[in-house]
Structure formats: structure tokens, C-alpha cells
Homo-oligomer: A and B are copies of this chain.
Amino acid sequence: MSRISAARFMDLTRKTTPLAEVFDVAVQTLEAGQARLRLPFRSDFMRAGGTVSGPAMMMLADYALYAVIMSVAENGEGAVTSNLNTTFLRRPKPAAVIAEARLIRCGKRLAYGEVTMFSEGDEQEPVAHATGTYALPPDKQR
């Protein structure tokens, strides 16, 4: 079971990750090591040509990985991104983007996970895939 509910995660991070609020990202489900998030389509922050900007998807991936880390790690709130590698696989539709995040490894000092992103309503073909490494604060071991 997740250490934290989706609603509590969103509430906690309102201050620490203001961009998620700017973009109005919603955590739809949060289980231990797994999360599903939704980035609404907003034409003003998006790339011209009616698609979703790369940076908006990188923000989404980073936030999704933060959620799965907090679902599992006692010291997850202090997690800091050390690497995020995003590959853009196809042009997203002018639609919301759904992110499915999965924690692959949660060690004492490092956590690592992946995020697959889809255009809402077309979940067969991913539009982007990201992997991220996070440093966890040393006080986990209490």
C-alpha cells in the first residue's frame, strides 16, 4: 500500500513543486511503486502546431517519479532528482498526456524508476518514455 494518498501527495507538493500546480497536473492513482498522472492540454503553455511541449512532459515525468518514490520511501519527501532521461517517441496529439510511472529500484540512497507517457484516449502508442534517478536523504535509516 502506498505510504501516502494521491490527494495528500498533491497537497504536500503544492509548495515544493509549483510547476505541477501551474500545469494543473492531477495524480489519478497512487499505489506502492506505481502512479498514474494526467497533464491537461493547455494551448497557452504548449508548443505551436497544436502539440504538447517537451519540457511540460519532462516536468510531468519528474513529478510522477517523485510520487512513486513518496509512495514507498520513508524519506521520499527529501528526494532530489539526480538524472532524468526523456525520449520523445512520437508527436503527441493536442490532448491531455497520461503518465504511468513505476519504481524499478528503491535503495537506501538512490531510487530509480520509469515513466511511460501517452496521449489520452490513445494508450496503445506511447508518446514519450523517461527514466529517472533520485538521491534520497541519508536520514532514512533511523
Q: Which residues of A are at the interface with B, using a C-beta cutoff of 8 A?
A: 15-19, 22, 44-49, 53-56, 58-59, 62, 80-91, 104-105, 107, 110, 112, 114, 116, 125-126, 129, 131, 133
Q: What copy number does this chain have within its complex?
A: 4
Chain A interface, >50% SS class: mixed
Give the chain B neighbours of A56 by CB distance below 8 A: 19
Known: A16-B47, A55-B59, A126-B104. A131 touches B89 (CB 8 A): no
Is the pair B84, A86 in contact by a Cβ cutoff of 8 Å? yes
Give the chain B neighbours of A45 by CB distance below 8 A: 18-19, 22
Give the chain B neighbours of A15 by CB distance below 8 A: 48
- The distance from the CB of A84 to the nearest CB of chain B, in whole angstroms, is 5
- The distance from the CB of A104 to the nearest CB of chain B, in whole angstroms, is 6
- When C-beta atoms are compared, the residue in chain B nearest to A89 turns out to be B105
Is the pair B89, A81 in contact by a Cβ cutoff of 8 Å? no
- The distance from the CB of A21 to the nearest CB of chain B, in whole angstroms, is 10
Give the chain B neighbours of A129 by CB distance below 8 A: 104-105, 112, 114, 131
